[in-house]
Amino acid sequence: MVTLLKALASAVLLLLLPGYLTRLAWFPRLPSDEPQDALSFLVEVLLFSLVWTGGWGVVLAHLGWFSLTGLWLISLGYGIAVGVWLRAAGRPLSVPLRVDWRSGVPVLFILVLGSVFFFRPHEFIFGGADAGVYVNLGANIARTGAWRIRDPVIAQLPSELYPGVFREHPPSMIPQYVPLPGTYLTDGSTGEVTPQFYPLHPVWLAIFYAIGGLRLSLFATPLWGLLACVMVYFAGKASFGFRVGLLSATLLILTATQIWFSRYPTAEVLTQLLLFGGLYAFARHLDQSQRSSWWGVLAGLALGQALLVRLDLYFLLAVPLGYGVYLRLERRFDRGYWAFTIPFLLQLVYSLTFAVSRTWPYFYNVYSFSLRALPMFWPYLVGAGILGILGVIAVESRVFGRWEERDGLRRVWRWGARSLAVVVLLLAVYGYFVRPHLANPVASYYYWYGDHQVPNVEQFNFVRLGWYLTPLGLVLAVAGAILVLWRDLDARTTLLMGMGLFFSVLFIHSSRNNPHHIYVMRRYVPVVIPFFMMMAAYALDAIGICCVGYRRWVASALTILLAAWLLYNARVVVRHVEYAGLVDQFRELVQMLGDEPAVILFNDARPVSSAATVGTPLRYIQGFTVLDLQETHLDVPLLAEQVKGWQADGQQVWVVAGEASVPLLFRDWRCEHRADVELRYPVLEATYEHFPRQVWWGTMPLRICELLAVP
């Protein structure tokens, strides 16, 4: 009952109230005789409220003040202030709404279909991979209220012991040591541990954890996946029409990747939600019949907040730059531009501020090569910027200074778009038929985290995208993109096409990820796969429109074939829940260890050990101190002195031996055996050379001893 009440209060205060009152306050007057479309109004309210709540959650975690109560109070205080202002101004606190079932039924269909596929979340609480680290970071933020972690046990460790209890980074990376996967030891003297990643997704997981605990936090990602499909529907509808929007969302829901990553608690579907919500708002912002600064603000907030989810989205800075050039050339540079750009830039600045002040090692390790190369290339970048500015000035003065020549420039625009269509066709043919044959079948590179060689299969990226989207889906997507560029590229669709094509080329050329499947596909989830499905929907819609009579059945047949093929490819993913049953097994393990403060030493010599996997939730969900012993570098007598100090302070010390334990590591210590535990769970096969189609059963045997005395 308490969880239900907290969930209801959070739904009202965090997901509805901020957006509702802001929407009412934005305009001088909402006409009482013109009811608003209820569905569109709800989407606006929800999108603004998501950005509002997520932004304040990040700020509170940044300052070390995060709490669910704090978020409630912020939204309630804002709501009271806006409500009082509305009443004082004689403005209504409600707006007449009309329910249009013609638009409501498709959204209801998307919600029902997505719920059936998405709301079986993977029980991914292990560390060792990004998904589990995100869940653990969310739980830790909810428990401690802070982004950074302070561990007094680590603060007491002598630096001479670090090589034996922390894994060491390669020399090119900072800082030197990693306590557990997804974290950095940034200040050993104070026990400061800095999480990896950007903060928005862990903060939302913390909100759900604060409402209903670990299990509820696992349902945050399915909710984002569902809402992302709704935003894809609205973005497709605003850009290309109702049929394209509905078909885009439906096809997306049926893809194995959308199903998997809407259950798998990484940040991809939250990114997808914000980006396509921003694209929808931006398309509405450009609609001259509804031009309003409200839509510009909403677009800037949504696209800008995506920069707090992932650090590979700074390319979006090109959006306000390109939009400004477009408005300048169109002689429509007005406050609408700033309504979009200011919210976007504020969040860009805050994203960089957070990177520098709270997750600098992560930012540096990802961008270190670019940062080192910048001194060599900055003159060229400055020169390109100057040439670009001079080009805009030249076009504006020579062409737009004489209105009769504007049609000439638009002909150049159409020529450029059609040339790009030809390039897209050539790239698709090259990526699918030529590039794989140029690949070295035995090429590999060293992967330091797993301490093994990984096949270099980047040349097969486009072909392997077809494993999930089907070859038919790829053909239709390429055809749709060519059609849009050839005949339908305008202000309303340029941002969507630019973003979709840019990220498609970027990640199909190089995924920048460990290329085992289905894991590597996360790179394509935020933009590429929904973009491909939207282009396929556009092509199917074009076939249906251009054909007459019986030939319209061609579009229907292709649609049914593609949907059935996508669902067939997703058959294993649909019925599989990764790590099913692990939450209950983990709770049994925790009950055995007890509630007292304890230090847990993991003896497991594998690079990604049982400390990395089960030790991570023991540390960040339960609050134990976990040390992943580096057996070959461990100074056992020095560790023994630390153990004596912990026991003198009243802390239990446990030794957990994993599958690859070093047998005689503690041969002189008195360690009393307590239990043998075997965690057992289903996992989707990890493969480099074929589509994943099997479910394996993984096991993790653990031998648990309580350390009673050391010599």
pLDDT tens per residue across span 492-519:
899 999 999 999 999 999 998 889 999 9
Q: Average per-residue pLDDT in the chain?
A: 91
Residue 328 vs residues 296, 345, 400: alpha-carbon distances, Å: 17, 19, 10
Q: What pLDDT does 233 receive?
A: 98
Residue 688: how many CB atoms within 10 A of its CB?
Answer: 16
Alpha carbons within 13 A on the beta-carbon side of 160: 7
- How far apart CA 298 and CA 39 sit, in angstroms, is 16
Place of tokens 């050339």: 329
Q: What pLDDT does 391 receive?
A: 65
Residue 195: how many CB atoms within 10 A of its CB?
Answer: 24
> Which residues neighbour 431 within 8 Å (Cβ) at sequence distance 6 or greater?
461, 462, 463, 508
Q: What pLDDT does 407 receive?
A: 65
> Under DSSP, is residue 488 helix (H, G, I), strand (E, B) or coil?
coil
Residue 63: how many CB atoms within 10 A of its CB?
Answer: 11
Query: 220-240 and 242-254 are packed helices; what angle lies between their axes, rounded to 10 degrees?
Result: 150
455 forms bridges with which residues in the sheet?
444
Q: pLDDT confidence of 399, banded at 50, 70, 90?
A: low
Residue 172 vs residues 361, 372, 512: alpha-carbon distances, Å: 12, 12, 17
Q: What pLDDT does 99 receive?
A: 81
User: 180 pLDDT exceeds 50?
Assistant: yes
Tokens matching residue 56: 């304040």
Question: For 80-139, how does the pLDDT look when each residue is reduced to its tens digit (9 = 90+)?
Answer: 999 999 989 888 888 888 888 777 899 999 999 999 999 999 999 999 999 999 999 999
> Under DSSP, is residue 95 helix (H, G, I), strand (E, B) or coil?
coil
Q: pLDDT confidence of 172, banded at 50, 70, 90?
A: confident
Q: pLDDT confidence of 334, banded at 50, 70, 90?
A: confident
Q: What pLDDT does 130 receive?
A: 94
Question: For 229-265, how does the pLDDT look when each residue is reduced to its tens digit (9 = 90+)?
Answer: 999 999 999 999 999 999 999 999 999 999 999 999 9
Place of tokens 């096969």: 685
User: 547 pLDDT exceeds 80?
Assistant: no
Question: Which range (168-172, 349-353, 585-589) has the least confidence?
Answer: 168-172
- Structural domain spans, the chain: 2-124+201-357, 148-198+579-709
19, 45 contact by CB (below 8 A): yes
27, 44 contact by CB (below 8 A): no
Alpha carbons within 13 A on the beta-carbon side of 288: 3
DSSP 619: H
The DSSP secondary structure of 93-137, one letter per residue, reads S---EE--HHHHHHHHHHHHHHHHHHSS------SSSHHHHHHHH
Tokens matching residue 173: 């990376």
What is the helix (H) or strand (E) element at residue 653, kind and residue range?
strand 652-657
- Residue 172, Cβ density class (10 Å: 0-12 exposed, 13-18 middle, ≥19 buried): exposed
Q: pLDDT confidence of 656, banded at 50, 70, 90?
A: very high
pLDDT (mean) for 651-673: 92
Question: Which range (204-218, 220-234, 431-445, 522-536) has the least confidence?
Answer: 431-445
Give the rounded percent of residues in the chain with a pLDDT score beyond 70: 92
> Under DSSP, is residue 704 helix (H, G, I), strand (E, B) or coil?
strand
Tokens matching residue 657: 């031996």
29 versus 93: the higher-pLDDT residue is 93
Q: What pLDDT does 596 receive?
A: 87
- How far apart CA 180 and CA 626 sit, in angstroms, is 8
350 versus 334: the higher-pLDDT residue is 350
Give the rounded percent of residues in the chain with a pLDDT score beyond 90: 77
699, 593 contact by CB (below 8 A): no
Tokens matching residue 197: 């990643």
Question: For 45-78, how does the pLDDT look when each residue is reduced to its tens digit (9 = 90+)?
Answer: 999 999 999 999 999 999 999 999 999 999 999 9
Residue 434: how many CB atoms within 10 A of its CB?
Answer: 11
Tokens matching residue 587: 């709770």
Tokens matching residue 538: 């556009």
- How far apart CA 389 and CA 619 sit, in angstroms, is 53
Q: Which pairs from 427-435 meet CB under 8 Å and 24+ separation?
A: 427/505, 428/462, 428/474, 428/478, 431/461, 431/462, 431/463, 431/508, 432/462, 432/463, 432/466, 432/474, 435/459, 435/460, 435/462
- Which of 577, 582, 595 shows the shortest CA–CA distance to 651? 595
User: 401 pLDDT exceeds 70?
Assistant: no
- Which of 619, 522, 582 shows the shortest CA–CA distance to 266? 522
What amino acid is encoded at 252 in this protein? Answer: L
What amino acid is encoded at 569 in this protein? Answer: N
Q: What pLDDT does 31 receive?
A: 47
DSSP 430: I
**Helix boundaries (H) for 510-635:** 528-546, 552-569, 571-575, 582-593, 610-613, 615-620
pLDDT (mean) for 597-605: 95
User: 198 pLDDT exceeds 60?
Assistant: yes
pLDDT (mean) for 663-678: 91
- How far apart CA 508 and CA 462 sit, in angstroms, is 6
615, 600 contact by CB (below 8 A): yes
632, 665 contact by CB (below 8 A): no
Beta 625-628 vs 598-603: how paired, if at all?
Answer: parallel
For the chain, give the number of residues.
711
> Phi, psi at residue 344, to the nearest 5°?
-65, -50
pLDDT (mean) for 429-456: 92
- How far apart CA 592 and CA 654 sit, in angstroms, is 11
Q: pLDDT confidence of 375, banded at 50, 70, 90?
A: low
Strand order of the β-sheet with 183-187 is: 149-150, 192-195, 183-187
Q: What pLDDT does 410 receive?
A: 75
Q: pLDDT confidence of 571, banded at 50, 70, 90?
A: very high
Q: What pLDDT does 406 receive?
A: 59
pTM of the predicted model over 0.85:
yes
